[in-house]
Structure 1
Amino acid sequence: MKVTLWAIGAAAGASIAISAGLAQSDNPVEEYRRMLADPFANPGFLWVDEGERLWNEKRGPKNASLEQCDLGLGPGVLDGAYAQLPRYFPDVDKVMDAESRIVHCMVTLQGFDEAEIRRRAFSTRDRKSELEALVAFVAEKSSGHKFSIPLTHPKEKEAYALGEAVFYRRGSFFDFSCATCHSQDGLRIRLQELGNMRKQEDAARALTSWPTYRVSHETLRTMQHRMWDCFWQMRMPDLVHGSEVSIALITWLTKNAEGGELEVPSIKR
């Protein structure tokens, strides 16, 4: 386990430190962002540690660990695997992102029920998600690696094309699409800058920082949650966790972010 005293202290005292820092700053917003960027104040690493414990522990009806889970680079190979996902997996004949592949391993290796895993995929105020912790652990193993996902198999190309179509598709009450907020330069909502996901530098800046600890949520969040939350904000129907649409959109965004270097878990508002 990697849990250290500074990480535990950060989880307990980050809000106090931020409040004190803001009170002394001439530019509270920039000071807030600077303090959020401090890795020693990031409780997200507690999720990484919990994910490592869950990964190596024998659990489930089959009393097995996830140590033989194949994330695309071979059974048990984690270093750099997250940076090469989503990708096509021959054993299931479809494209999977990191979260869906981890769910697959929990089902096939450990015997857990897939519907129950997905039902509890996102943390709530009173319950932490095991899946989010596992994703944090796997993703952290790719910190320092650059996104480079394959786009050679026909189903990978199909996923990319579908993701692009979903990005521009308008609908629901507001007649919004992802492109409404993320296809122009210089847009923002309140203090939140909205990246242009059609540009590599903006896509890389966004994608390389997930999973992230959300201070306002008091928990770690993954890219699947980011997609779900965006659909919710557009008042679209709920995006099903691990659905073909969610994976396709993540495929398109990740390919646009290719070359960006992962630094996770990050910490955000």
Structure 2
Amino acid sequence: MAAERDSCVGAKSLRRFVFVDLDDTLFQTRRKCPKEPNLQPAAFLADGSAHSFMTARQRSLWALLGGQATLIPTTARNQGAFERIDLPFTSWRILDYGGIILDADGVPEPEWIARTAAGAQGCIDSLRELLDQAEALIARERLAIRVRIIEDFGLPLYLVAKYRDGQEADLDRLQRELITPWVEAGAQRLHRNENNLAVIPAHLGKEFAVRYLIEHLRGEWGDIFTIGVGDSLIDAPFMAECDYAIIPNGTQLSASTLATFSPAP
């Protein structure tokens, strides 16, 4: 039995890759942080001020995973927002809900960006119409909401809306009166996690990009081992593409999965 254990432990390890969401997984805004000392700034606003922070547990997760595997950020952030993150990612990165895949040098993967460009061409008119209707409702009802189309590498990708000044009810109203009916009538997805609401065209999805990149990595390395890490319901499909999944406690995805098994107090 001991010989079998030694043989197993000594076997050649597979190349390891971790596809990891960023916001609310590796770091979060100060408002969402627990009350603990020594929070580490991890993401910054365009003016250079610290916006998001890592807790001691998140730093431990980074050290654990980063010391054993190649970490691949898998995020909704576009290139500009990603570049304001102070974490040493050195390999591939997946941005814009899977719309953009960059190599280690920051160059878009050519086949993937061509696919995204074709999808963007087919949905831009719909996104612009939704933006116009949202801006009209916001102005008419004086809602405290900022809404815009996120672009990257010259491509219009998805629409995002966020409430301002703590006016969550305003975003609830926009979602109820305009966004939800719009999404239900077309081939799009709605992602809502607290103050962030996104309308994502059907051709975008972190899971599509992760699946594509896993196949690419298998072509380069042969058999590989993968882990998916994420906090939101929108992350679950890309995590399901991986061999294992890690879900931070106290998050949207945890509440819909693991927390359902917690015993009543």
Task: Name the TM-score class by shorter chain.
Answer: under 0.3
Larger radius of gyration: 2
More helix by share: 1
TM-score by length of 2: 0.28
Higher relative contact order (CA 8 A, sep 6+): 1
TM-score by length of 1: 0.27
